[in-house]
Amino acid sequence: MSPVPTATARRRRFGWPQRVFSQVLLMQLAIATGVTALATGLFLAPLSSQLDDQAMRRALAIAQTTASPELADELTGSRPAADGPVQKEAERIRLSTGAEYVVVMNDNGVRWSHTSPSEIGHIVSTDPSDALAGHEVMEIDSGTLGRSARGKVPLRDDEGRIVGAVSVGIEYDSVRARLLAAIPGLIAYAGGALAVGALAAYLISRRIQRQTHDLAFSDISALLAEREAMLHGIREGVVALDRSGRIRLLNDEAQRLLGVGPDVTGRPLGEVLGEGRTTDVLAGRVSGEDLLTVRGSRVLIANRMPTDDGGAVVTLRDRTELEQLGRELDSTRGLIDALRAQDHEHANRMHTLLGLLELEMHEDAMEFVTEVVGVHRATAEQVTEKIHDPLLAALLVGKATVAAERGASLRIAPATLLPDRLVDPRGLVTVVGNLVDNALDAAAGTPDATVEVELYAEGRTVVLRIADSGPGVPAGQRELIFTEGWSTKELPVHGKRGLGLALVRRFAERQGGSAVVREAAGGGAEFTVVLPEALAEQPLPATGPAQTVAAAAEKTRDAR
């Protein structure tokens, strides 16, 4: 036994269609039909009134022409009769004007003329009081001859006295006939307009069908709901732009990565993000795949896909942690290389010390050990005397060791003096580490390779200056080097370079400062970073930076 179809299935089979094309077409046809019918009705309603008014005015004009002083004299000088002068004059006017009737009456309402001679001498069937009172009357009324458009005027003699009235009627059926005669032409015009509307509705529906891929409204609604859930649920930023560069859509992750709110929808991209590489990448002014850009403190990878309507969809991935990990790997690799070199040097020193002991040259052995240990102790003490922040001091001690292994000298400038009151020590460590690494790379391989670090405070402002003995930066590239993706180094294993200096400038600008590069006094490059309000107003509790760094140096020395 076949199952009974459900109500939903019956509606789908016999009721309202499901496809957008069919629904839109039917709705537009219904609208076009309704508008056509309404327009026709609105046209016919005043047309009927206009025809009625024209008929009444025509009847009034005939009555005014008929009501002459001569006719008044004939009325007062004769008796009502079928062959009287008044009847003859009234019939002549009726026949010449095509009126339905021309009735002349005395001041008592007795007819002196009528289309039916038997009605002459009788009182009129309608109230003549207004006309006999001196008023002109236009109306559509029913009388002995049926429904007609009427005009009534008073009949005055030569002295202006009212001696009667003239009533003229135009057959109402003739007015209706004129109205009915106009309807076929009007319907033809309305039908033509309806046909044009139906064709336009079909073309519009076909266009909507192509744009919606012939989906049902329920399917489109479900797709929109799924899209919203997907866009706001994924951990990748999505930005949709229209052809004019305005933001159409921004999911939650994109708002977080770009640092904007949900109220930016509909605004131009440049107005929301400002000028810079991020805006250029999202707007398509920079082409390529996996484009790197920095927004605030975040390193982003952007990919842009144009859409058919001239807009674009941009996806953003957060690479901040990956970039930090890559830099840590680079630093770790550098330290491993330095430790490997130091391992060989340590073995050579141990062999030297062993030889001195075997030769019983004890004093020379003690002098050798003192000299080796003193070099490292002097470096640590020099740093901790001038840099009181433990993190920054430890970084510079480690960088000094790496520089020595690379054949370079890391010097602390005499004017260096930084108190232990940093507001963001980790941020400054990142800035110093990036600049020192770049300076060591630039100075490596040059005669008397040297990197000089100067850190000092001006009130609450920290000024950092790092100079190297490398080849320097050409004047035309001194702004370009701070853009994301610019680098003269070989591509590392973990990804793209060209972010360190961009992060340095972003960090400085975020604190209201600046980062610039110029030519050093003795050649090479000199980077200057100014960080306003980088120091706390009150000194922070002492943490023993000298002891911390000295202990770290001692452990390093013991491990060697």
What is the per-residue pLDDT for 454?
94
Residues paired with residue 295 on neighbouring β-strands, in sequence order: 298
Residue 323's pLDDT is: 56
C-alpha distances (whole Å) from 314 to each of 244, 250, 267 are 15, 10, 16
Please report where in the chains the tokens 């030569």 appear, as a residue.
158
Could you give the domains of the chain? Answer: 18-213 (3.30.450.20), 218-318 (3.30.450.20), 322-559 (3.30.565.10)
Say if residues 515 and 482 touch (Cβ distance below 8 Å): yes
pLDDT-based confidence at residue 352 (cuts at 50, 70, 90): confident
Q: Is the pLDDT of residue 341 over 70?
A: no
Give pLDDT, residue 20.
60
- Cβ of 249: how many Cβ atoms within 10 Å? 16
364 membership: H or E segment, kind and range: helix 362-386
- Rounded to an integer, what distance in angstroms lies between the CA atom of residue 447 and that of residue 341? 20
Give the 3-state secondary structure of 500-556: HHHHHHHHHHHCCCEEEEEECCCCCEEEEEEECCCECCCCCCCCCHHHHHHHHHHHH
Contact residues for 333 (Cβ-Cβ < 8 A; gap 6+)? none
Q: Which residue has the tokens 């370009």?
A: 480
**CB 531 within 8 Å of CB 508:** yes
Strand partners, 154: 165
Average the pLDDT over 161-173 and give the result.
86
Sort 537 into a burial class: Cβ within 10 Å, 0-12 / 13-18 / 19+. exposed
Whether the CB-CB separation of 522 and 509 falls below 8 Å is answered with no
Question: Using an 8 Å Cβ cutoff, are 395 and 432 in contact?
Answer: yes
**281-286 average pLDDT score:** 86
Contact of 130 with 123, CB cutoff 8 Å: no
How many residues are listed for the chain in this entry?
A: 560
Which range, of 208-222, 299-313, 397-411, 502-516, averages the lowest pLDDT?
208-222
Kindly report which listed range (17-26, 43-52, 368-377, 504-513) carries the lowest average pLDDT score. Answer: 368-377
**Segment 393-412, tens digit of pLDDT:** 888 877 887 787 777 888 88
Cβ(380)–Cβ(350) below 8 Å: no
Does the predicted model carry a pTM greater than 0.85?
A: no
Residue that the structure tokens 């610019």 belong to: 486
Q: What is the mean pLDDT of the chain?
A: 77
Main-chain dihedrals φ then ψ at residue 19, nearest 5 degrees: -70, 145
Instruction: Give helix 20-66 / helix 85-97 axis angle, nearest 10°.
Output: 150
Rg of the chain on CA atoms, in Å: 52
Phi, psi of 376 (to 5 degrees): -70, -40
387 DSSP 8-state letter: B
Instruction: Output DSSP code: residue 361.
Output: -
pLDDT at position 153 is: 93
The SS3 of residue 191 is helix
- Report the b/e string of 141-157 with b at 16+ CB within 10 A: eebebeebbbbbbbbbb
What is the rounded CA–CA span in Å between residue 315 and residue 426? 30
Considering only the C-alpha atoms of the chain, give the largest distance between any 2 of them, rounded to a whole number of Å: 177
Extract the tokens encoding 109: 């309402």
Say if residue 383's pLDDT is above 90.
no
Q: What percent of the chain has pLDDT over 90?
A: 13
Q: How many angstroms from the chain centroid is the CA of residue 236?
A: 20
